[in-house]
Structure 1
Amino acid sequence: MSVGVAVSGGADSLLALCLLQEQGYEPEAVHASFAGAADGEARLQEELAGICARRGIPLHCIQMEEEFDRRVIRPFVQAYARGLTPNPCSWCNQRIKFDALVREVRSLGLDMIATGHYARVEQDCPDPPGLYRGTDSGKDQSYFLALVDKRALAASLFPLSAWTKARVREELSRRGLRPVSGEESQEICFIPHNDYREFLAAQDTHLPGPGEVVDSSGRVLGRHQGVHGYTLGQRRGLGIAHSEPLYVLDKDAEANRLIVGPRRELQADSCRVRLDNALVGVSSWPEQVLVQTNYRQGADPARILLEDGWLDVRFDRPRLPATPGQIAAFYSRDGRVLGGGEIMSGARRKSGQGLQ
């Protein structure tokens, strides 16, 4: 079976390419360039070409910077202008890697697409395909795949589903290979020096200016420099003298206000999610699901109510507020992704209020 393997030059995609070849597939490497003529891209493609030539694997280099800008970068900037905190990695998977790139792979006459994601797809399950967490809990990337639709998943292979990151490095070295793209990054790939504030300031987009910083009762405590520069739960950089540490509790983009308060107020009972992708019919979801609202946080038990395409999520216990603009991924107890969507609002728990 012919497979187009998305290769970035990192360890994960390179080993995925090797494993599929060794397993008897007919892989062809597909490298999507999102950076155009940026420094290092030509060298990266040259080194990838050398690796593929030595293994007898065809390499296709595809320019996708315009589509990446239109479908990932521009929406990212516009979301921040609306006071949201977007998740571009999830968008990239949904709109680029498992949409635009899949179309390119099919235009090459290839049957499947494979990537180096740490996640698992099962075709032999109820209501296939089933997307599950990867074995390496520290590297599991199913959260970032929660917006990918079933048609794309049905034509996808994840060769590293049962692998750990440590073993990937060992096996790549054993094959005499090393990553071409250098050290992996946990940050946003198109943000220079990981400074998103500087990146946003350089864009041709109107961003909200300074405004009031208030407490939960509406009392003005100071001024902020633009709500886009703050994230929920942030403590440092508020510039407000107070009797106890203050945290960002919420952002009121319409009034251009930043709402802050002590840590005891930094908890939530619920959130509201737009259901963008149901991998399992909602009527088949268990009564209690696990909800992950941030890649760095674990999944929490909750109950949900679907109404007109919106999910009202009621957590079993108070937790940190979900951040509007981020992605909520819904899981069953066995690690299956039930669906995903964008968080539209996170409800803060009033002081002294119990769960109903």
Structure 2
Amino acid sequence: RAAALWPPEASPLSTMRIAVAVSGGSDSLLALGLLRAAGHDVVALHAHFLPPGDKEHALAEAIDAQCRALGVPFAAVDLSREFRDRVITPFAAAYAAGRTPNPCAACNRDMKFGLLLNAALAQGASAIATGHFARIEPTPAGPALFRGADDTRDQSYFLSLVPQHALARAVFPLAGRRKAEHPAALAALGLTPPLPSESREICFVPGDDYRAFLESESFPLSGPGPIVLADGTRLGTHQGLWRHTIGQRKGLGVAYSEPLYVIDKAPAAHTLIVGVKAELAATVCRTGPANCLVPSEFWPETVLAQTCYRMKPRPAAARLTADGGLDIAFAESVARPTPGQVAVLYDAAGRVLAGGEIIASPGLVIPENLG
């Protein structure tokens, strides 16, 4: 039902109540204003994902003031404990295990379109709207998730793990809009975002320094281990696999005849594997169980695969594995995919076919003498 509301400006007025997740930033506030201006029955819902203090309560009050100007009911819900259990703790555990996690994808799946959606339903809403740059279209088989109109802000990648039953209750009012248009649109609606500037960093990591965050939170983390070439030649010692990610060049602390990059990790041996830039190239990728938004029998022979947010989708062949994961073979070599990140499959029209967490980039021969 919710998918049919897009675009809200063109849809008939509905008695369905829509909860709008508002953070205090311009995107979510514009989403609220557009739906309200279109005549929809809306309620604003603000989530405290971090333990609320004076600053957070003041932000909620500022959002409430904007809502009152629109004549929109406002409610805040404290989900900080659940956020820590479902996003922050798994984030730390992934780094401890040698992976590089994507907390935004997990947050969308488990929090915004999980527990916050449940809170919206408890407020009497039938759908939840957010300020994501993505598009939902109804199909006979259920809602279809597409890229948004603004290529520079598209967030379908981060939404690829949200299950279809949750997407069925999602509304994305900014699907056809561009970020540069927002200041004028907000001014026309008489709205002023309480957060004048927005960060694209991880919301719970101060200064985007995940290493300092993990140390300050006293999470159990891996210790030192060897730094080796792919043939097993030892070059030095690292201070913890969690300090490094695939493709990293700076901060390795070893000397070599040419620049070295992290090309893989062997967590069982606490070993960091480095190599020259050419060794970063990969042509295959594997994920854990995937969130399939389109049955695999309807995938095109050539899909477009994306293995990190800043990557342009590349032509590939893909299939489901026996355990429901994705096996992806790129038509040409790409930068080595990073375990813990998300691999997303698209069709040529920008529709999300499936998404899954990367577990391996097969093809690198790991020597047996890593220890």
TM-score category of the 2 structures, normalised to the smaller one: over 0.9
1:224 to 235, 238, 255: 238
Shift of 1:170: 1.9
Give the SS at the match of 1:347.
coil
Q: How far apart in 2 are the matches of 1:111 and 1:139?
A: 27
Shift of 1:275: 3.1
Look up the equivalent residue of 2:83 and give its one-letter code. Answer: F
Q: Counterpart of 2:362?
A: 347
Contact 1:266–1:348 (CA under 8 A) maintained in structure 2: no
1:94 aligns with 2:95: no
Q: For residues 192-220 of structure 1, give each alpha carbon's deviation from its aligned partner in whole angstroms, at most 9, with x where no partner exists.
A: 11110011112333211111110111100
Give the SS at the match of 2:128.
strand
Q: For residues 52-97 of structure 1, give each alpha carbon's deviation from its aligned partner in whole angstroms, at most 9, with x where no partner exists.
A: 1111100011010011011100111111110010000000000000
Q: Counterpart of 1:116?
A: 131
2:171 to 125, 133, 157: 157
Superposition pairs of residues 157-236 of structure 1, within 5 angstroms: 157-236=171-250
1:49 aligns with 2:28: no
Q: Counterpart of 2:39?
A: 24
Unmatched segments (≥5 aa) in structure 1: 351-356
Q: Counterpart of 1:338?
A: 353
Shift of 1:305: 2.5
Q: How far apart in 2 are the matches of 1:216 and 1:287?
A: 34
Shift of 1:138: 0.3
Shift of 1:349: 6.2
2:320 to 306, 312, 322: 306
Q: How far apart in 2 are the matches of 1:251 and 1:176?
A: 52
Unmatched segments (≥5 aa) in structure 2: 1-15, 366-371
**Which deviates further from its counterpart, 217-226 or 299-308?**
299-308
Q: How far apart in 2 are the matches of 1:142 and 1:310?
A: 19
Contact 1:267–1:348 (CA under 8 A) maintained in structure 2: no
Shift of 1:161: 0.0
Q: Counterpart of 1:293?
A: 307
Shift of 1:16: 0.3
**Which deviates further from its counterpart, 165-174 or 321-330?**
165-174
1:105 to 97, 115, 120: 120
Q: How far apart in 1 are the matches of 2:320 and 2:335?
A: 22
Q: Counterpart of 1:353?
A: none
2:333 to 310, 318, 340: 318
2:95 to 72, 80, 104: 80
1:13 to 28, 34, 46: 28
Shift of 1:155: 1.1
2:270 to 244, 256, 259: 256
1:144 aligns with 2:155: no
Contact 2:290–2:325 (CA under 8 A) maintained in structure 1: no
Look up the equivalent residue of 1:160 and give its one-letter code. Answer: L
Q: For residues 25-75 of structure 1, give each alpha carbon's deviation from its aligned partner in whole angstroms, at most 9, with x where no partner exists.
A: 011000001122235201101111111111110001101001101110011
Shift of 1:282: 1.1
Q: How far apart in 1 are the matches of 2:235 and 2:184?
A: 54
Q: For residues 309-338 of structure 1, give each alpha carbon's deviation from its aligned partner in whole angstroms, at most 9, with x where no partner exists.
A: 122111111110110011111101100000
Look up the equivalent residue of 2:247 and give its one-letter code. Answer: G
Q: For residues 159-178 of structure 1, give each alpha carbon's deviation from its aligned partner in whole angstroms, at most 9, with x where no partner exists.
A: 00000000012211333322
**Which deviates further from its counterpart, 264-273 or 198-207?**
198-207
Q: Report the aligned-residue RMSD.
A: 1.2
Look up the equivalent residue of 1:6 and give its one-letter code. Answer: A
Contact 2:296–2:319 (CA under 8 A) maintained in structure 1: no
1:277 aligns with 2:259: no
Look up the equivalent residue of 2:129 and give its one-letter code. Answer: A
Look up the equivalent residue of 2:105 and give its one-letter code. Answer: S
**Which deviates further from its counterpart, 311-320 or 30-39?**
30-39
In the superposition, relative to structure 1, how do residues 9 and 193 fare at CA in structure 2: closer, same or farther (>3 Å)?
same
Q: How far apart in 1 are the matches of 2:195 and 2:98?
A: 33
Give the SS at the match of 1:36.
coil
Give the SS at the match of 2:166.
helix
Q: For residues 274-306 of structure 1, give each alpha carbon's deviation from its aligned partner in whole angstroms, at most 9, with x where no partner exists.
A: 233110111111111111110011111111222
